[in-house]
Structure 1
Amino acid sequence: MSFIDRAAAALADPVLKTAVERTAGTAEANRAVAVEAFPDFAAARARAAAIKDHVIANLGEYLERFEANAVAAGARVHWAGTADEACAIVVDICRAAGAKTVARSKSMLGEEIGLPHALAEAGIERIETDLAEHIIQLADEPPSHIVWPAMHKTRDQVSALFRRHHASPHEDESIAAMAESARRHLRERMLGADIGISGANFLVADTGAVCTVTNEGNAELSLVPPRVHIVTAGIEKLVPSMGHAVHMLRMLARSATGAALTQYTTFYSGPKRADDADGPEEMHIVLVDNGRTAMREEGLAEMLRCIRCGACMNHCVVFRQIGGHAYGGTYPGPMGAVLTPALSGLAANRDLPQACTLNGKCQEVCPVAIPLPTLLRGWRERSWREGLEPVTTRWGVRVWACLAKRPRLYRFATSAAILGMRLWGGGGWSRSLPLAGGWTRHRDMPAPEAASFMAQYARGRRR
């Protein structure tokens, strides 16, 4: 299905819109409160952007420093240029350890490289330990949001999944009962897994430590008991020091959930040492490029600032109408509309940069000030230059340009269109309009003012 088809299907699903709007609206409100209470948030945001820009500009140096310190702490560092290489490294480690089961803490990088499919093809059982990831694993669906992967699911849908798949399902329909059902189902599997796999929210260069952030404590339960801990992380996750990591954590939590700090923030530095009470015997860190170096060289370096908070999609008027699955890639929303063409090619994803009103809200709320509208316009310009836009669009722009260059003709056409829309609609709204079926299929179009802005402005000046 194309993006247009997926978006149309999403718009026709009233349950989806209710579920998405509820979660995104709550996140928007919580972030506003958290930012209001944060002293000089604008300065903190500028510092966060500067930290990321500095690391991206000196990426080679910081990668070498991180590798040296991680190895000194006892970890093994692997380098993967592509998604396939990263998956092959992880599968080889699992096979070398004789692993039959892996417990996985939520990782968007893992989704990006297709790790769940690679593990399945290798015959290795995957246990998703994050509650939302567990839900979508049962539903056999991809995540619809990078922080709340199951935000598209209603309570009734989750209840039905648990009753179908859990050996000891919940007795009542309360959220607490359903969470307890998931806990009973997952706890023994998590603690008995052969290998724990995680992503990384940050990689600390001066210590070689890996930082994970969760709200459920599932990472700690699924990464410490197994014999082997595998980390898959994008090379842009680096920060210079612990102090920089703490600053970024303060920005991440407030932007993602509206909390001052996430419930569980853990730093892992190598495998178990002789005097440690617990921990894995081996720790492997797989550093993944998968197009990130190319992004830095091709004018998308600012996108590498992204700390995966999800604030841009929580505030996006398009995402809140169609949800995450309509975008068709690992990353939805504004950040996905920039990242997916970079990761999977513009030709196959040219519709994504068009799915934006360019209102700038995503840039306004981004904790690292990524100029998302500018980057989206860049993809649009490139799509036009490379001839990827359909013939109808190119002719439509030519017709508009012809009118725009002739002010009198443009004013006449605008007046005629306004008159036609007012006559077509009744009671101030139009249920259908010629050439606007994509809009009116799922919503009514408000009738326009009696005259254009320029006509009303000219009339006001004459008064």
Structure 2
Amino acid sequence: MKPITANFRSKAAQTLNNAQIQQSIEHVYTGFFKGRLNAAGDTPEWEELRTKGKAIKDHTIAHLDYYLNMLADNVEKNGGIVFFADDAEEARQHIIDLAHKREIKTVIKSKSMVSEEMGLEKAMNAEGFETVETDLGEYIIQLANETPYHLIAPAVHKSRTDVAKLLDDDFKEGDPVPDATELTMMARKKLRGVFERADMSVTGVNFAVAESGSIALVTNEGNGRMSTTVPRVHVAVMGMEKIVPSIQDLSTMLRILIRSATGQRISTYVTMVNEARKTDEEEGPEEFHLVIMNNGRQNLLEDPQMRESLNCIRCGACLNACPVYRKVGGHAYGWVYPGPIGSIVSPVLTGLKDASNLPSASSLCGACHDACPVKINIPRMLLELRWRTAEGSTDKNEQTSSAKERTVWKMWRLGMMGRKRFDIGARLAGLALRPLSRNGWLKKAPPPISGWTSTRDFPLISSGSLKSKLSKRIGRSK
């Protein structure tokens, strides 16, 4: 799946001008955000759990190679097969090759951001496999040929009318719009036959437990449990950071994940997968495969300033708290991971040069930091990426500003370092911009400050300093 992170500004503008989408994504605040606040308020030890969750993730990421090896060993002891993929292409091809070898015809998917990251569904359909999403939100998005809008609610931007058009071929404008229950039953009817004929499933992994070789899936629809038990081959895919050391640690992480994601104390289903079906068992897959993907995460791991982003448990709380996301929506970010955490992860995984607008897609209000269940300091990392965007850090490929722009800002910095220089610079800038102004306002400023006037007028720089104007006023008053 090719990222289109460079289109943030244009996509954000489209969303801001779409009244229907603005109304739809309001649920992010009224539903998820307030639900998290209520769940946290009803949990007396909430801050203690957050601190413990952060400690678990910090420890695991610091010893990631040790726990990955432990996980792989225990999965294989349980009879599973582990494959480490360097990038999305290698992971995708491994799954496609496996499906060909097992003569698979129908593949069902349970919601997985990693599978979205590797563009698995479209690739498998192109190879001739019937590949169907089974999570209701993901199924709607698949029918619409779109990408997920939110980490937890992929179709949060869709109205009931939009969904009815996708699920009911006979639906016409003016027809009564089905309610949520009716729409769900439409999807259930379509998907039931797919579950029955599926011979392979691909699921995500909310957490992998190193000490037992288990994976944990958190769902509210039951599709995760169906996907892990009905088909004869089960493939679980995960980023290499989605790991905890022990079952006790899993208990802590589930408590903070579910409360932060949906505001529930516990989700409808928490599914633990340990191994393939044994000979004396009646249900379960004949084969269990675990694909562990890097795909640029090593860059985050090796970067002391960015490593903390690997602590993310994909709860979506930072999206729900972010005033920018709640206005520009998920598609503006151009890749799998939207919102504040996406503004950090996407530039590192896809290239900062193409995603240079994302670190600036934040007011730096700190709401994401306050909402994060594992206390990731997102504003700090956004500021770091903004600095790298401007300065290029040590990697020239990261540098997105032009030589002219950097020269202008260096001159500005020099001017700000002395009072006399500041006064002279302000006077010269005011004189230079005066021909472009009208009634004391700039309608369109020249580069590199042209962005400041793209959506508003900018006041002309005064030809005199405040101090000089006050001195003149005092002189006149005498």
Q: Normalization by structure 2: what TM-score?
A: 0.84
Q: What is residue 357 of structure 1 aligned with on the other side? A: 363
* 1:134 maps to amino acid: Y
Match of 1:59 among 59, 64, 73: 64
**For structure 1, which segment, 278-287 or 65-74, has the greater mean C-alpha deviation from structure 2 after superposition?**
65-74
Distance in structure 2 (CA, Å) of the matches to 1:226 and 1:220? 11
Equivalences for residues 164-313 of structure 1 within 5 A: 164=169, 173-299=178-304, 300-313=306-319
Q: CA deviation at 1:40?
A: 2.5
Are 1:131 and 2:97 matched, yes or no? Answer: no
Code of the residue aligned with 2:94 in structure 1: it is I
Equivalent pairs counted in the alignment come to 435
Quote the residue 1:389 is aligned against. 401
Match of 1:401 among 413, 421, 435: 413
Q: Over alpha carbons, which structure has the higher Rg?
A: 2
Measured in 1, the distance between the counterparts of 2:199 and 2:230 equals 9
- The C-alpha deviation readout for 1:15-53, integer Å capped at 9, x for no partner, is 111111223332111111111111232221111011011
Deviation at 1:378, TM superposition (A): 1.2
CA contact (8 A) 1:195 1:228 kept: yes
- Is the aligned partner of 1:378 residue 2:384? yes
1:336 aligned onto 2:322 = no
C-alpha distance 258-393 of structure 1, shift in aligned 2 (>3 A) = farther
Q: What SS does the corresponding residue of 1:298 show, helix, strand or coil?
A: coil
Match of 1:24 among 1, 20, 29: 29
Query: What is aligned with 2:145?
Result: 140
Normalised to the residue count of structure 1, the TM-score between the two structures is: 0.87
8 Å contact 1:159–1:173 — kept in the other structure?
yes
Deviation at 1:151, TM superposition (A): 1.0
Q: 1:83 aligns with which of 81, 88, 98?
A: 88
Gaps of 5+ in 2: 1-5, 393-398, 431-437, 460-465, 471-478
Residue 420 of structure 1 is matched in structure 2 by none
Task: Specify whether residues 348 and 49 from structure 1 end up closer, same or farther in structure 2 by C-alpha distance, changes over 3 A only.
Answer: same
392-401 or 73-82: which moved more? 392-401
Which residue of structure 2 lines up, in the alignment, with residue 69 of structure 1? 74
Q: What SS is found at the alignment partner of 2:108?
A: strand
Q: How much identity, in percent, do the aligned residues show?
A: 37
SS at match of 1:27: helix
Letter in 2 for 1:334: P
Offset, 1:191: 2.4
CA deviation vs aligned residue, 1:397-456 (integer Å, no higher than 9, x gap): 45653664456867x979x9xxxxxx989xxxx9x96559978988x89x9xxxxxx99x
What amino acid sits opposite 1:287 in the alignment? I
Structure 1 pair 407–179 and aligned structure 2 pair: CA distance change class (3 A): farther
Picking from 316, 322, 328, the partner of 1:322 is 328
Amino acid at match of 1:383: T
CA distance in 2, matches of 1:16, 1:438: 26
Matched residues in 2 for 1:385 and 1:25: separation? 39
Structure 2 counterpart SS, 1:178:
helix
SS of equivalent residue, structure 1 residue 116: helix
Q: In structure 2, do the counterparts of structure 1 residues 438 and 114 end up closer, same or farther at CA, with 3 Å as the change threshold?
A: same
Alpha-carbon separation, structure 2, partners of 1:6 and 1:318: 13
Using the TM superposition, give the Cα deviation of residue 274 of structure 1 relative to its aligned residue in structure 2, in angstroms: 2.1
In the alignment, is the contact (CA less than 8 A) between 1:24 and 1:320 conserved in 2?
Answer: yes
User: Is the aligned partner of 1:4 residue 2:9?
Assistant: yes
Q: Which runs of 5+ in 1 are unaligned?
A: 417-422, 448-453, 459-463
Aligned alpha-carbon RMSD (Å): 2.9
CA deviation digits over 1:87-110, x for unaligned, max 9?
Answer: 011111111110111010000000
- Equivalent residue number for residue 395 of structure 2: none
| 1:260 Cα offset (Å) | 0.7
**Alignment CA distance shift 1:407-1:176 (3 Å):** farther
CA distance, structure 2, for counterparts of residue 424 and residue 153 of structure 1: 45
Deviation at 1:149, TM superposition (A): 0.5
